[in-house]
Amino acid sequence: MISAAIFAYAGDSLAVIECARHAESMGLRAVIFDDSKHPLPGWALGQLSRMGVGYELTTFDRRGNLNGTECCRGMIDAMLSLDAPVVIKLDADTLVVRPDAFAPGNVGCCSTGTGRRDAFGACYSVQSETLEAAGRILAGLPHDSTCPEDLTIWSAIRATGHAFEMLDHHPDGGGLAAVPVGAAVDRPERFAALTFGNPPAEGWGGLRDVLVSLEMRRFASGIDRSRLDL
């Protein structure tokens, strides 16, 4: 079974439940890595426990939205702690639609249409031996408190020399789709993963977690699973 490492904090209380529920329904072993400085509330932990989802409290400094070499090293250590041959890293506001696309490991999502060839951080998979090699590379880097997790970890993955694959996003299907609030549920199964954290033009108005979790549930229920084998 492939493990899914879901990095969350208090602001993801509702979304992380939808993320984990869907990951488990797709045959993944979901494990939440919570932020000790901003942990999930008790009611969310209770729900995750009733779902049988794994939970770990991490102490590395995330510096906001997963930034800094210390954070990147902590994330790699967390993923390695799952003792799995392949780990899918997930943001709490993200749904894995096609786990098979990530099953080989060392698979990321990019968008050459926007010039973003580096992997997006919302969803990617890494083999355990690549995680170990990338961790050794990061351990030799100078301290940087601002470098983003996705660019930093994927730079290290590339530097290992291990083979990797990028799933390119295209509107007709492909890698990672950033779903705007209120979008029509239009064949979500054509994408490998869906993420819902991009704010609308008018902003979240303090309702980000509620709106994101509702959108995640709406899209998860709209996935035509009979088409996932195509």
pLDDT block averages, 10 residues each, the chain of length 230: 96 97 97 97 98 97 93 97 98 97 97 88 98 96 92 96 96 93 94 93 89 96 82
Q: Is 219 helix (H, G, I), strand (E, B) or coil?
A: helix
* Domains, in order of start, for the chain: 3-227 (3.90.550.10)
Instruction: Please count the other Cβ atoms lying within 10 Å of the Cβ belonging to residue 208.
Output: 20
- Do β-strands 3-7 and 86-91 pair in parallel, antiparallel, or remain unpaired? parallel
pTM for the complete prediction?
Answer: 0.96
How many secondary structure helices (H) and strands (E) does the chain include?
A: 7, 10
Q: Would you state the pLDDT for residue 230?
A: 42
pLDDT reported for residue 229: 63
What is the C-alpha to C-alpha distance for residues 142 and 112, in angstroms, rounded to an integer? Answer: 30
Using alpha carbons, select from 89, 91, 93, 90 the residue that is nearest to residue 106. 89
How much is the pLDDT for 73? 96
Write down the pLDDT at residue 1.
Answer: 82
